[in-house]
Structure 1
């Protein structure tokens, strides 16, 4: 079926993680494994993959898959499940109207899935109550684009990042969140050292460490900063008056609002930046024609996110730096198909094909094209408001597809309560062990990455195919098929008689072309007649793809926008109110991502390699704050807001500003007992976009007073056994777990057996000392089963060595006692904490290469150990280890 495009050994597909949209070659092997490599022909990555992409094969494990439809926990047929869903939705609509039901979908489903979901809800159920988890990551960018450009148009390409002479990264840890894109940037900078990189971020991230200038801005200071920049551009003659007069409107009013921020003393006070740094940034921006500003969640996830976006767009419009090579504002998306969702109207205030609810002309076009009986007259409920409506009983039936809102939404405990109260919850998912699944009345098994086929669109508007290379297990089905079948059962047979993904794509493309005539940015008219073989062979293509061949790489080079008069709009913007800290809540909590995990770990948590870099939830805390509240490195701490509390491992670092905290949002109750960070985040939202403010929650922090700490490894999944704190992760050959408790363990041997899940026949070695340290190792028939170390303080054991003992090889007596000590012998060097996930290289491996092989540069380490030579995300850590060794030598 794909002979014209694929080889028999490899299938060309697209990575399911971030919005970079990397091409992947997937090759099923005779032993049942899959070989994964980057696609050298894909224009997003040219063969590179990050640590997550490189480990995709490790996530394709069969355990915990949802394999059959279920109603009330009992297996049923697809017909029974789909009939039940259709009947309950129809009954609820008949009783309380179409707005009493809702869909909540995901930026990880395919464009074809998204299209059918929106067509069903908006065109045939007659409600706009369909929103997506993309609301949480890029809806402020959408709103800012629409306000300024008249359309949700990303004007740039990835090549512009490489062509720019100045790249400004705002609220974007590109090195960890979009690693392949960052490596393209660093390669361009290495080839052209005059290129400058500025990072604007409260934290000194890996991205900031690689930059020429880091501006450690105060939380929510971005709008003030770009207001100050606009004022500076006006004062220094940096405004492109010809462009502004010919192609924009509202400039003078926007400038008047910005002028007070030209006072550097005031601006320094509002942003937390010193005046010399402000002057340097302003001078770089004013003097550099080829400037691209990349922004991501640090901008979008704010109660003033849309104004932040428009503050950035104002500066680019004022200088005319848009639509040309190496120029422009560039929103990079967090999910693989956030852009595809925007194309089909995935947000509650949108219609398909970049048309809008509330625009009578757009509503008429979509209604006639779909032959829709009841298009909604108003926007639907955005994500936060949607789950509030579920909680209040205004929405009585909800279908959740490919996302985990019990962990990902702010005030996540309220979301949990909402689903517990909801009369009818449907969940379509791949695995059965998310924190959302227990609240489903109906479970529908979906095909996963590698099993489903369709398209995704990356951050530069490039459409790529995801192709199946594995059979779907059990009775798993594509999400679009599930929704189409329900649509047919609800009485809309003709509208949902799709024969496959290609037919859906053709309809999607045809709608983009319908009565368009250049009035709308989104145009796939050149793809509207793709037959099945052409769809299967589709190579990555950037939209617009016009039927007449007039497609363009960049938007707005001609100064024409999609507003009624064709002119871009300057917006009056104002800085968001600073987080309201208090003596009880003196810290500002910032949340985000880490290098090797993804969202709520339903996929990455299945890989031992990805779990090895940062294996437990943590909180970054400035050393000065730690000293004041008597917290030491590796202590456990409780972080608390008005909405809940979590227990995390303290990581003392000057990467964060004093008075601020950073904690990753990935951990769920599947992996830790008390680390659901979004349960702490207040549901404050941007008034325009409805996007939650996830970056600035007032918080308190105190030391968690543990009576004992533990670390365990096992061939089998470990049990917390009532521990007050625990965090488990997959490890090579088994599992690992950190744990702690507040009450003394009276029977330590019984506790060890419970944690390790030992059979009665297992032999348990036990060593204890007078200081209260206990060490256990379990064996059966000479085979090592697991080990547990207990201590009054954080356990000092080589985690890498302990995990390596899970290899299954029989242990001699000497080795067994060495294991109890938690340290390898001289014949087995300890690799140390993992640094390079791509090649499994530890910190001690790197230190030995520096000391013994004189590897005193990152490139030398790469030649010797391969570390840093794939995605490059660990290069800053490598340099840090080199620098540390130099300091030791000087001593």
Structure 2
């Protein structure tokens, strides 16, 4: 069935639709309201308990990302021998997918096929994908991109608690007297939760915040203490804390004796080599932190009862990530600080539905409903419930080893859903090689052109955010509805429906779902099926016969029906009591001191420190750390559409300490090649001020669709944690070399330029134009050659065109502007040096119907005519406030605090993630004033 492409209110009314943000694991509630012009206004949902109406800048800009440019709207199949894609019918595409998978399973066995899915899927999509692979194909070769971000937390929780359980809730952040943020730039990556911490700290100044991170990030601005530990030394630091707590008697002896096991072994591993007791100085030296600061942290933790330890990717994305997680949990178990208000270990998830995927067994080593794949009793339980012909009997291939198996030919078909592994995997050039050799590559996606889809044989158009309908689970176990407010564009279909259609064509029963509500109901019923939790057992009618205890259960959400599902309010599992759509949830777990291990006890886990698999050496002397920037998300297929989000960080960068840059022969503003033993990429050098000597940082978002050579995944080493299979994204030995070019430049144009002769480029989305940062290795020559090249760049072949140009041969400067009816159409600026005119005011000229004489002069002179015309690079993306505007207001109005800047300019008044930058600008402006005096 074909649907109209125009964007409109799916409900046909002007009422706001309550849904959930598709970005990070905070799970913010969103209200989408249709405008008369066909667009939508996006606002925070004041009734949602995750955010109470607040949205970060990415959430606020969602309305800019729902256009259909670049969308995959029809099923496509590639012509033989890597030919072009052609539109096909759904029947042809589905038959090709089902037939290809069926043939390969029949000829080579079930382990010759695989699914690689995503935390962007809804729980209902995830559920049927897992059911298909593990219960019908009979292979556990289904893994998810959540393997790359949160699987160490899963493994750590299961080792300690017997189940993948986050025991705390967001309210605990506000009840705590000490919040420890480990490996988490919360201010940028989870800004709504960061603002909750900021607000409660303002109300209770005695509350303490400690940040543990090798980098000095925006999060550190509000910290009482920052511990810049050496990369990879988290286990040593928390082992040291465990030893310190034990030595100083900060132990909840009754809790440890009655409700835990393994304490002696964990303490022995933490204290290994300490013959005369814990040596704080040696621990500080190993962690590369000041011993006085380390002692302050240890004392603060020891004497503060209400402690929440938040950890995220800096802990998880490591070859010892699971041990890092358990070393943190060990400290909470020793002190009994778990299961009570305001205390506990807290994993902040990275994706909107990483938790939902974990609930349904979306990882290659898990089963649905928190059951275990390696447990025969659990497998039997699931097989009986599903009525499946078979259940996979062993763990499947985890993400990195899956793509190794594809390259080796052991896996001959892979179906990729909602993710971009050619960008996001470590050693991502290997993913390219693997997909190029794969017999059948299927991709379900919303975007047609991605780095991964270039290798697909079959493309299946899926629904995107705003169009699909189902549930997601956030970091505090809160299930929320994601509701559609847009019609399905083109021929796009929900992922769950595509999966079920393929399953039926493969001859499998059990996939006759008519709606996502029916899938959710089966998911809820499985969670309660023979669950030995007493209330859950009562709800399911199964009693205790042959059951398995697990905290995860949705017994209270069984049998909601269409109306109950449609009106489902945000609720935290477990949901034991049945009250329909209003069933009460559970804020925090383990208040009864019962854990999910068979004996009901939590486990201390011995975590002896291990060195990273690859250490810096003479050839690769620096350590690469990767992560997110404030205003972008994953591989930018959504956020890259937004002009609002493009202005803060416009191209890939490598953040370095100035002394390291000097030794590498680069300086701020230069282009540099970042290389490792696995691959290389090119980025712009910057001195962010937060990097320790020996470490560099590169963001993860840029890819071959938006830049010439900026995939940092190609550089990252593929070593993984031996327990969780999570890759080491935070510790790759690299070298930095100057990337020599003959010229630098940028262009602004209403159409995509032709990039012939350009060595380096990055695309930046604008409102009325597209901007490209450019550089080349081939000298463009004299004026005539430069002019001809510039005209060719924009396809201007009319000799009578209104073409203005300026050249300074001695300085190596060339500028050209193309006007049509006095309206700017294109412009290009070239220089022998990277220093170039400000882009922001030039981009603003594209909003004008005509350029006046002052504008024409300003364009060619490289600066605006008139005070205040150049607002500068974006600082506050929420309100579009630039650096120059802020600095001018600070100087002219004598502003002294970030709050005064907000009152004057609104900057910092929405999500607050730019407040650390506002504070820095206050200092920079004052220093500039003093230097000028």
Q: Same fold (TM over 0.5)?
A: yes
Deviates more, 1:761-770 or 1:677-686: 761-770
Deviation at 1:741, TM superposition (A): 1.2
Check conservation: 1:462, 1:543, Cα contact below 8 A: yes
Q: Which residue of 2 aligns with 1:199?
A: 211
Q: Which residue of 2 aligns with 1:586?
A: 621
Return the alpha-carbon distance in structure 1 between the equivalents of residues 665 and 490 of structure 2: 53
Correspondence for 2:41 among 32, 35, 46: 35
Q: Say if 2:505 is the partner of 1:489.
A: yes
Q: Determine helix, strand or coil for the equivalent of 2:369.
A: coil
Correspondence for 1:768 among 807, 818, 825: 807
Q: Structure 1 residues 6, 176: CA separation in 2 closer, same or farther (over 3 Å shift)?
A: farther
Q: Which residue of 2 aligns with 1:574?
A: 608
Q: Determine helix, strand or coil for the equivalent of 2:271.
A: helix
Q: Determine helix, strand or coil for the equivalent of 2:522.
A: helix
Return the alpha-carbon distance in structure 2 between the equivalents of residues 19 and 762 of structure 1: 52
Q: Which residue of 2 aligns with 1:861?
A: 901
Q: Which residue of 2 aligns with 1:465?
A: 481
Q: Say if 2:699 is the partner of 1:694.
A: no
Q: Say if 2:38 is the partner of 1:23.
A: no
Q: Counterparts of 1:179-258 in structure 2 under 5 Å? A: 179-258=191-270
Q: Which residue of 1 aligns with 2:5?
A: none
Return the alpha-carbon distance in structure 1 between the equivalents of residues 368 and 628 of structure 2: 30
Check conservation: 2:801, 2:818, Cα contact below 8 A: yes
Q: Which residue of 2 aligns with 1:822?
A: 862
Deviation at 1:807, TM superposition (A): 1.0
Q: Say if 2:746 is the partner of 1:711.
A: yes
Return the alpha-carbon distance in structure 2 between the equivalents of residues 213 and 174 of structure 1: 15
Report the count of equivalent residues. Answer: 887
Check conservation: 1:718, 1:728, Cα contact below 8 A: no
Return the alpha-carbon distance in structure 1 between the equivalents of residues 248 and 184 of structure 2: 28
Deviation at 1:339, TM superposition (A): 0.2
Correspondence for 1:730 among 738, 741, 765: 765
Return the alpha-carbon distance in structure 1 between the equivalents of residues 794 and 191 of structure 2: 37
Deviation at 1:759, TM superposition (A): 5.6
Deviates more, 1:280-289 or 1:649-658: 649-658
Q: Structure 1 residues 808, 716: CA separation in 2 closer, same or farther (over 3 Å shift)?
A: farther
Q: Say if 2:76 is the partner of 1:70.
A: yes
Return the alpha-carbon distance in structure 2 between the equivalents of residues 616 and 757 of structure 1: 25
Q: Determine helix, strand or coil for the equivalent of 1:496.
A: coil
Correspondence for 1:311 among 327, 333, 342: 327
Q: Which residue of 2 aligns with 1:623?
A: 658
Q: Structure 1 residues 317, 758: CA separation in 2 closer, same or farther (over 3 Å shift)?
A: farther
Q: Say if 2:782 is the partner of 1:741.
A: no
Q: Determine helix, strand or coil for the equivalent of 2:885.
A: helix
Q: Structure 1 residues 123, 136: CA separation in 2 closer, same or farther (over 3 Å shift)?
A: same
Deviations 1:48-91 (A, max 9, x none): 00010000000111111101001111111111111111000000
Q: Say if 2:346 is the partner of 1:330.
A: yes
Deviation at 1:570, TM superposition (A): 0.6
Deviation at 1:557, TM superposition (A): 1.5
Structure 2, unaligned runs of 5 or more: 1-8, 79-84, 534-548
Return the alpha-carbon distance in structure 1 between the equivalents of residues 18 and 60 of structure 2: 15
Deviations 1:545-601 (A, max 9, x none): 013578532111221100010000111112231441111100000000000000000
Return the alpha-carbon distance in structure 1 between the equivalents of residues 577 and 372 of structure 2: 23
Check conservation: 1:299, 1:308, Cα contact below 8 A: yes
Q: Which residue of 1 aligns with 2:829?
A: 789
Return the alpha-carbon distance in structure 2 between the equivalents of residues 8 and 742 of structure 1: 54
Q: Which residue of 1 aligns with 2:794?
A: 756
Deviates more, 1:576-585 or 1:526-535: 576-585
Deviation at 1:7, TM superposition (A): 8.2
Deviation at 1:808, TM superposition (A): 4.0
Q: Determine helix, strand or coil for the equivalent of 1:700.
A: strand
Q: Determine helix, strand or coil for the equivalent of 1:356.
A: coil
Deviation at 1:641, TM superposition (A): 0.4
Deviation at 1:875, TM superposition (A): 0.2
Deviates more, 1:237-246 or 1:13-22: 237-246
Return the alpha-carbon distance in structure 2 between the equivalents of residues 256 and 574 of structure 1: 9
Deviation at 1:749, TM superposition (A): 1.6
Deviates more, 1:860-869 or 1:807-816: 807-816
Q: Counterparts of 1:437-586 in structure 2 under 5 Å? A: 437-493=453-509, 495-518=510-533, 519-547=549-577, 552-578=586-612, 579-586=614-621
Deviations 1:416-459 (A, max 9, x none): 11001101000000011211111111000001100000000000
Return the alpha-carbon distance in structure 2 between the equivalents of residues 750 and 617 of structure 1: 29
Check conservation: 1:303, 1:576, Cα contact below 8 A: no
Return the alpha-carbon distance in structure 1 between the equivalents of residues 494 and 500 of structure 2: 10
Q: Structure 1 residues 575, 815: CA separation in 2 closer, same or farther (over 3 Å shift)?
A: same
**TM-score, normalisation: structure 1:** 0.98
Q: Determine helix, strand or coil for the equivalent of 1:657.
A: coil
Check conservation: 2:745, 2:836, Cα contact below 8 A: no
Deviates more, 1:732-741 or 1:45-54: 732-741
Return the alpha-carbon distance in structure 2 between the equivalents of residues 762 and 252 of structure 1: 82
Q: Which residue of 2 aligns with 1:102?
A: 114
Q: Which residue of 1 aligns with 2:892?
A: 852
Q: Say if 2:340 is the partner of 1:340.
A: no
Deviations 1:689-726 (A, max 9, x none): 00000000000001222111011111122343232211
Q: Structure 1 residues 455, 759: CA separation in 2 closer, same or farther (over 3 Å shift)?
A: farther
Q: Determine helix, strand or coil for the equivalent of 1:585.
A: coil
Return the alpha-carbon distance in structure 2 between the equivalents of residues 89 and 471 of structure 1: 31
Check conservation: 1:725, 1:740, Cα contact below 8 A: yes
**TM-score, normalisation: structure 2:** 0.94
Check conservation: 1:789, 1:795, Cα contact below 8 A: no
Q: Determine helix, strand or coil for the equivalent of 1:350.
A: coil
Check conservation: 2:845, 2:851, Cα contact below 8 A: no
Return the alpha-carbon distance in structure 1 between the equivalents of residues 381 and 36 of structure 2: 51
Check conservation: 1:801, 1:822, Cα contact below 8 A: no
Structure 1, unaligned runs of 5 or more: none
Q: Say if 2:634 is the partner of 1:599.
A: yes
Q: Which residue of 2 aligns with 1:610?
A: 645
Deviation at 1:633, TM superposition (A): 1.5
Q: Say if 2:136 is the partner of 1:151.
A: no
